[in-house]
Chain A
Amino acid sequence: MKGYLFILTSLWFLYLVSCTPTDQCQTLPILGNQDIQGTDTLYPEIPDFNFMNQDSQEITLATFDNQFYVVDFFFISCPTICPKVKKQMLRVYHHFEKEPRLVFLSHTIDVRHDTIPRLKSYAEGLQVDTDKWHFVTGSEEEIYQIAGHYFSVARKDESSPGGFDHSGRLILVDEKKHVRSFCDGTDPESVDQFIKDIQCLLDES
């Protein structure tokens, strides 16, 4: 009997040691294919872009100088995953509302319908500070192209509900314009981890 008790206690202890999740930060990798040139390793960077936000202000990569930012792709009349993803993006926004180093960037993929006034009223409906969260439109081609750099899909597809095919990822970009983390914006648990990743990256820098 004593033998059994000992084994059970040991197993329980092992379980505790091995399965308790740690909240310790690990350095987030730079995502994407590295390019090794001689002794240098080059990491992919987000290329420059030129969009307009809900207040008709020009938004380029320089807008995010010395800042980290979170990205998503959506369209206002989206009948599928967009509202769920936006709810999670809003959760991340509220979590870091007082953090000046982190801002948010949402791209519409339906540039025909999501005009600047519509984006403005959408931002007002979400009740967010538009200095911290930009809702942008621009050239359709440029938006679809830049999505690839954020490991996301955005394209027209008449067979998809609403007429567009797109992924529901939230993507984290660091101050050197490297993608450092992403999550599935339809899955709250994945977003929990994403929030931890953002915090770790902010703490590290």
Chain B
Amino acid sequence: MSRKRCAWIILFLVGAALIGCQLPYEQGRELYVSACANCHMEDGSGLAELIPPLNGSDLVRRNPDLLPCLVRYGMEGPVTVNGITYNEAMAPVTGLNDVELANILNYIQYQWGDPDRFYSPDEIRRILKGCDSRPVILDFSAEE
């Protein structure tokens, strides 16, 4: 094999590896960092028993249909995540359109929840139509 050919093959392999390593929800990650990470932290770990984690959260995994309303309109009252009850209100995340909301939630599910759960912008719109335009109040625990 000529040296030139060998160099091309190596270049191709490195390029393919770099593309393969890229996160599928790059915009979602960026939006997450700017809109959510101040409270839920970049690694999704939350803060002690004040702010629930998203990373490994049973609520994220088991109740994916709640999340669009929760992010858009915020949340009040207690919420139980992984058996721990948190009781600080979550402010609504303003300034996100439906596509951006889908991207953020897809990133969260892919990274820390159910990687197969995918939200299309149409599904986000459909879910949002079904929730009231005010902070979500959860009167049940994620365990149930």
Contact check, B47 vs A83: say whether CB atoms are below 8 A apart. Answer: yes
Residues of B within 8 A of A3 (CB): none
Residues of A within 8 A of B41 (CB): 83-84, 87
Contact check, A126 vs B50: say whether CB atoms are below 8 A apart. Answer: yes
B49 near A: Cβ within 8 Å? yes
Contact check, B91 vs A87: say whether CB atoms are below 8 A apart. Answer: no
Contact check, A121 vs B47: say whether CB atoms are below 8 A apart. Answer: no
B51 near A: Cβ within 8 Å? yes
Looking at the complex, which one of B38, B49, B89 makes contact with A83 (CB distance below 8 Å)?
B38
Contact check, B38 vs A126: say whether CB atoms are below 8 A apart. Answer: no
The interface residues of chain B, by DSSP majority, are classed as loop
Total A-B pairs, Cβ < 8 A: 38
Contact check, B38 vs A125: say whether CB atoms are below 8 A apart. Answer: no
Contact check, B50 vs A125: say whether CB atoms are below 8 A apart. Answer: yes
Per the bound structure, the CA–CA distance linking A121 and B86 in Å amounts to 11
Q: Give the total of A residues in contact with B, Cβ under 8 Å.
A: 16
Query: In chain A, what residue has the closest Cβ to B49?
Result: A125
- A window 92-128: CB within 8 A of B: 121-122, 124-127
Per the bound structure, the CA–CA distance linking A84 and B43 in Å amounts to 11
B31 CB → nearest A CB, Å: 15
A79 near B: Cβ within 8 Å? yes
Contact check, B38 vs A81: say whether CB atoms are below 8 A apart. Answer: yes
Contact check, A90 vs B48: say whether CB atoms are below 8 A apart. Answer: yes
Per the bound structure, the CA–CA distance linking A87 and B47 in Å amounts to 6
Residues of A within 8 A of B89 (CB): 77
A80 near B: Cβ within 8 Å? yes
User: Which of A83, A84, A87, A127 has most chain B Cβ within 10 Å?
Assistant: A83
Per the bound structure, the CA–CA distance linking A81 and B47 in Å amounts to 13
Residues in A lying within 8 Å of B, measured CB to CB = 76-77, 79-81, 83-84, 86-87, 90, 121-122, 124-127
Residues in B lying within 8 Å of A, measured CB to CB = 37-39, 41, 47-51, 86-89, 91
7 contacts between A and B (CB under 8 A): A83-B38, A83-B51, A84-B37, A122-B50, A125-B48, A125-B87, A127-B49
- Other than A84-B41, A86-B50, A125-B50, give 9 A-B pairs with Cβ distance below 8 A: A81-B38, A83-B38, A83-B41, A86-B47, A87-B47, A90-B47, A90-B48, A125-B48, A125-B87
